Structure 1
Amino acid sequence: MPNIDEALRHPRLRDCDNLLGSYIANKMLKQDKEVGTLSFADGPRENRIRAYRRFMRNELTEFEHALSAYLNHAVVDAGSRDPLRYFIGASSLYNAIASAPSLPRNEEELAQQQNSILTFNYTYPFRERERYFPGLMSINPIHGVLSSDPVRAEIIIGIDVVKQYRNGKRELVNDEEIVTFTKTYRTLQSTTQHGMKSDIFGQGTLDCIKFFGHSLTEADYSYFRSIFDHVDLLW
Structure 2
Amino acid sequence: MENNKLVILGNGFDLACGLKSKYADFFEKRISEDVSACLDRIYQEFSVEIDQPIYYFETLYDVRNKYIKNMKEVDPFAIKIISLTKKDKEILKKSKLTFWDVVLFYFQKNDEEKLEEVDWKDIENRMLDFLKNEESGKPSLVNILYMLEHFDRFALDKINWLCLYLAKILSDEKKIPEDFVEYLYHELRFFEDSFIDFLSEEVKSNEDYENYATDFLLQIVSVDNVSDLFKQKYLSFNYTEPINDPYFKITNVHGTLESGHIIFGIDQTKVNPLKEIYRFTKTFRQMTETSIAKRSDELILPRKEEINEIAFFGHSLSQLDYSYFQTIFDFYDLYSSDVTLAFYYSLYGSVTNLEMELDLSKKIGAMLKIYSPSIGNENQANNLMHKLLLEKRLIIEEIKIDNMI
Given the two structures, how large is their TM-score scaled by the length of structure 2? 0.40
RMSD: 3.6
Q: Cα gap change, 1:34/1:142 in structure 2, threshold over 3 Å: closer, same or farther? A: closer
| TM-aligned CA deviation for residue 182 of structure 1 | 0.8
Corresponding residue for residue 65 of structure 1: 193
Change (3 A) 1:14 1:69: farther
Decide whether the 8 Å contact of 1:144 with 1:156 is kept in 2.
Answer: yes
Residue type of the alignment partner of 2:327 = S
Counterpart of 2:143, as a letter, is N
Q: 1:186 aligns with which of 285, 293, 306?
A: 285
Aligned equivalents of 1:60 and 1:33: distance in 2? 13
- Which letter does structure 2 place at the counterpart of 1:223? Y
Establish whether residue 199 from structure 1 lines up as the match of residue 294 from structure 2.
no
The one of the two structures with greater contact order (alpha-carbon pairs below 8 A, sep at least 6) is 2
Q: Are positions 1:92 and 2:215 aligned together?
A: yes
Answering whether residue 329 of structure 2 is matched by residue 212 of structure 1, we say no
Kindly tell me: are residues 196 and 145 of structure 1, through their superposed partners in 2, closer, same or farther at Cα, counting changes over 3 Å?
A: farther
Alignment counterpart, residue 74 of structure 1, candidates 202, 216, 220: 202
Structure having the higher helix fraction is 2
- Where do 5+ consecutive residues of structure 1 fail to align? 36-50, 100-104, 131-135, 164-171
- On the 8 A contact 1:7/1:18 being kept in 2, the answer is no
What is the aligned partner in structure 1 of residue 241 from structure 2?
124
C-alpha distance in structure 2 between counterparts of 1:4 and 1:92, whole Å: 49
Q: Cα distance, 1:193 vs. partner?
A: 7.2
- Deviation for aligned residue 1:187: 1.8
- Counterpart in the other structure of 2:253: 142
Task: Return the letter of the residue paired with 1:144.
Answer: G
Q: Measure, in 1, the Cα distance between the counterparts of 2:213 and 2:159.
A: 46
Matching residue within 194, 219, 225 for 2:326: 225
Aligned partner letter, 1:92: D
**2:212 & 2:229 partners in 1: Cα distance?**
22
* 1:176 counterpart residue number: 275
Change (3 A) 1:219 1:204: closer
Give, in whole Å, the separation in 1 of the partners of 2:175 and 2:324. Answer: 36
Deviation at 1:141, TM superposition (A): 0.8
Are the aligned partners of 1:12 and 1:26 in contact in 2 as well (CA < 8 Å)?
no
**Alpha-carbon separation, structure 1, partners of 2:175 and 2:150:** 16
Q: Which residue number corresponds to residue 158 of structure 1?
A: 265
With over 3 angstroms needed to count, the CA separation of the structure-2 counterparts of 1:64 and 1:11, relative to structure 1, is: farther
Larger Rg: 2
Bigger shift: residues 207-216 or 88-97: 207-216
How big is the shift at 1:22? 7.2
SS in structure 2 of the partner of residue 128 of structure 1: coil
Q: What residue is the counterpart of 1:167 in the other structure?
A: none
Following superposition, the deviation at residue 16 of structure 1 comes to 5.7
Contact persistence 2:176–2:183 (CA under 8 A): no
Query: Given residue 94 of structure 1, which amino acid in structure 2 is its aligned partner?
Result: L
Question: d(CA) in 1 for partners of 2:197 and 2:267?
Answer: 24
CA 1:139–1:17 in structure 2 vs 1: closer, same or farther (change >3 Å)? same
**Could you say if the C-alpha distance between residues 198 and 24 of structure 1 is closer, same or farther in structure 2, counting changes exceeding 3 Å?**
farther
One-letter amino acid of the structure 1 residue matched with residue 263 of structure 2: I
Closer, same or farther: CA 87–9 of 1 in aligned 2, 3 Å: same
Residues 145 and 154, structure 1, Cα contact 8 Å, conserved in 2? yes
Q: CA deviation at 1:53?
A: 2.2
| Partner residue in 1 for 2:28 | none
TM-score w.r.t. the length of structure 1 is 0.65
Contact preservation (8 Å) 1:3, 1:18: no
Structure 2 residues not aligned, in runs of 5+: 1-140, 336-371, 373-405
CA positional deviation for 1:123:
1.5
What is the Cα deviation at residue 27 of structure 1? Answer: 4.2
Q: Distance in 2 between matches of 1:55 and 1:221?
A: 29
The letter of the residue matching 2:237 is F
